[in-house]
Amino acid sequence: MIFQIILVAFALFAIAHVFRQHRKQKVSVHWLVMWTILWLLVIGAAMAPQTTDILAQKLGVERGADLIVYSAVVILIYGMYRMYVRVGRVEREMTELVRKVAIDKADKPE
Amino acid sequence: MKVVAVIPAYNEQGRIGAAVRDAAMFCSNVVVVDDYSADNGGEEAREAGAHVLRHIINRGQGASLQTGTDYAVAHLEADVVVHFDADGQMQGKDIPEMVKPIIEGEADIVLGSRFLGVKANIPITRWVVLKLGLLFTMAVSGIRVTDTHNGFRALSRHAATSMRITLDRMAHASEVLDLIKMRNLRHVERPVDIRYSEETLAKGQSSLGAITIVKDILKGKFFDI
């Protein structure tokens, strides 16, 4: 019961936060909608955990809570992979930039 | 034929000046890439007569070599680029032999080897790590050489412009072997005299650095970054 309350409170906080960010024009409408839907689903699952069981059983998983944990792991690993590739690209671009500055400001002997 | 030496330097004050003068005896120009050192190595190299390029943040040895190579090709009209080191382990007197196969048109790239001809005073743990490196290279790059992680190499203008080192840190030696294979470059090995001193062993890469190198290579292969 306590965990459900914490979860709902956190979800409301996250939604409020993304609305505030959107008002400051820091996030796009697309992101606002996706983020809100995600947290509304979390609220739904927290208030009525049994409903997730129905979906879970359709997908061949016994309990809704398990389904959520499995999906979370897969999504997080995928996110990490994306991040890894992106960091690699940023590193490479940074090296190119550092290289350009070094060559442009070459210190030549007389 | 214009031969340009490229020397990556990270905190090499006290050694870099001598290395520049040593290389300059056998090259038209010397380029030192100061990889954001905390010391005054850049000044020292400058006083010794080198072109000095400065990385405004530290990017690693592989990145430094590529910076110096770009500069040598684009601004110094180098016909041959020699990758050399800053701490006196490599000997300038080996440069003419390294460059010869390129000048004679026999090769696009010449790799220095510690295991050909001259007997080097390699410490035993380093020897084991280097031999394991050979096996790893054969498995990963499918290229057979006698010494994989020797940074001493000479590149023809063609080789220098057709390959780019993208592994910024210490895995560049393996990457170069990969590139030789992929770009179909003609390569030969020449014996070089590498002198290990207590000072350079303390300052240089530890044999454990091999783990980081393997990690970088695999990362580069799997993630294509």
Measured CA to CA, the distance from residue A14 to residue A9 in angstroms comes to 9
Predicted local confidence at residue B118, as pLDDT: 60
pLDDT at B224 (0 to 100): 59
At B200, is the secondary structure helix, strand, or coil?
helix
Q: Domain residue spans in chain A?
A: 1-47, 64-105
Tokens representing residue B42 in the block: 């850049």
The percent of residues in chain B predicted with pLDDT above 90, rounded, is 64
Whether residue B225 is predicted with pLDDT greater than 60 in this model: the reply is: no
Closest CA relative to residue B84, chosen from B74, B102, B98: B98
Please say if the pLDDT value at position B186 is more than 60.
yes
Q: Give A78→chain B minimum CA distance, Å.
A: 13
A98 contacts on B by Cβ (under 8 Å) = 55-57, 59, 63, 67
Q: In terms of Cα–Cα distance, which of B103, B5, B100 is closest to B50?
A: B5
Q: Which of A48-65 are b and which e, b meaning 16 or more Cβ less than 10 Å from the residue's Cβ?
A: eeeebbeebeeeebeebe
| Contacts for A49 with CB less than 8 Å, ≥ 6 apart | A4, A64, A65
* Helix H or strand E segment including A36: helix A29-47
| Residues shown for chain B | 225
Which is nearest to B10 in space by CA: B86, B98, B95, B89? B86
Tell me whether residues A91 and B168 touch, CB distance under 8 A: yes
What's the mean pLDDT when you consider all of chain B? 90
Q: How far apart are CA A21 and CA A39, in angstroms?
A: 16
| Per-residue pLDDT at B86 exceeds 90 | yes
| ipTM at complex level | 0.88
B106: left (phi over 0), alpha (psi -120 to 50) or beta: alpha
Using CB atoms within 10 Å of the CB of residue B204, give its burial: 0 to 12 exposed, 13 to 18 middle, 19+ buried.
middle
Q: What are the pLDDT digits (tens) for A5-56? A: 999 999 999 999 999 999 999 999 999 999 999 999 999 999 988 888 999 9
Q: How many residues does chain A have?
A: 110
**B49/A88 Cβ within 8 A:** no
* Residue-wise DSSP of B13-58: TTTHHHHHHHHHTT-SEEEEEE-S-SSSHHHHHHHTT-EEEE-SS-
- Domain annotation for chain B: domains and CATH numbers: 3-223 (3.90.550.10)
Q: Read off the DSSP letter of residue B199.
A: H
pLDDT tens digits, one per residue of B141-171 = 888 888 888 899 999 999 999 999 999 998 8
CA distance B70 to chain A (A): 8
Res B217: pLDDT: 82
pLDDT tens track for B39-69: 999 999 999 999 999 999 999 999 999 999 9
Q: How far apart are CA B100 and CA A43, in angstroms?
A: 73
* Residue-wise pLDDT tens digits, A79-97: 999 999 999 999 999 999 9
Q: How confident is the model at residue B204 (pLDDT cuts 50, 70, 90)?
A: low
CB B140 within 8 A of CB B106: no
B146 CA: distance to closest CA in chain A (Å)? 31
Which has the higher per-residue pLDDT, A23 or B203? A23
Whether the CB of B57 is below 8 Å from some CB of chain A: the reply is: yes
**What tokens does B190 get?**
């020449």
Q: Tell me what pLDDT residue B221 has.
A: 75
- Judged by CB atoms closer than 8 Å, whether chains meet at B57 and A85 is answered as no
